Amino acid sequence: MLSKKSIPNTLSFLRIAMTFFIVAAISHSLYAPAFLILIAALITDWLDGLAARAFDAKSRFGEIIDPIADKALYGGTLGAIYWYAGVSPLLWVILFTLAPEGILTLLRCMNIRGAATVVGKIKMVRQSASMIILMLGLVFLNQSLLIFGIAVSATAVIFSWMSLLSQIIAFEKTA
């Protein structure tokens, strides 16, 4: 049985596992099931933070695994949509997102990263919205939704870089 304190990290691991099912579903053109799993995974992202606060279960490990789960979900979903569904403009979104997200993860693991910023939260909302819109575009075979999803993904890239910059500025102020 799970203890209350382990619920947030368990939800993060569940989100990582769900990413594999999303990728598998997309690889077999099962877009509706992939969309439903994506929605469930995004709900776990909301629930893990809620559980961490409600059960006073914040931990250093949780501060690392939660954003890694977010990046796995976003990267896995976009990568699968690019690779298996052939939405080629997403390659540029993926490439330009790798650097800031990778650096943020490295800073987090080295314990030289501050708390989540407003910019980082906006970035995650945009990333989540882009995944939902892109998946709806695939479910309904709607080119306009795919184009809009790519545009939202592109704005998430900007916020990834802004999030990195805000963390560097916060670090400089504390150093």
Q: What is the mean pLDDT of the chain?
A: 92
CA 144, distance to chain mean position in Å, is 23
DSSP letter assigned to residue 57: -
**pLDDT at residue 7, rounded to an integer:** 94
43-72 pLDDT tens trace: 999 999 899 999 998 888 888 899 899 999
Exposure string of 110-130, with b = 16+ CB inside 10 Å and e = fewer, is eeebbebbebbeebbebbbbb
Quick check: 100 pLDDT over 80?
yes
Quick check: 175 pLDDT over 80?
no
**pLDDT at residue 115, rounded to an integer:** 64
Sign of the CA dihedral running 145, 80, 20, 111: negative
Average the pLDDT over 141-150 and give the result. 97
CA 35, distance to chain mean position in Å, is 15
With beta carbons less than 8 A apart as the criterion, state whether 39 and 15 touch: no
Residue type, 101: E
With beta carbons less than 8 A apart as the criterion, state whether 108 and 67 touch: yes
13 — pLDDT class (breaks 50, 70, 90): very high
Q: Considering the chain, what percentage of its residues have pLDDT values greater than 70? A: 96
Which DSSP helix (H) or strand (E) runs through 74? helix 60-85
71-92 pLDDT tens trace: 999 999 999 999 999 999 999 9
Q: Which domains does the chain have, with CATH numbers?
A: 4-174 (1.20.120.1760)
With beta carbons less than 8 A apart as the criterion, state whether 134 and 154 touch: no
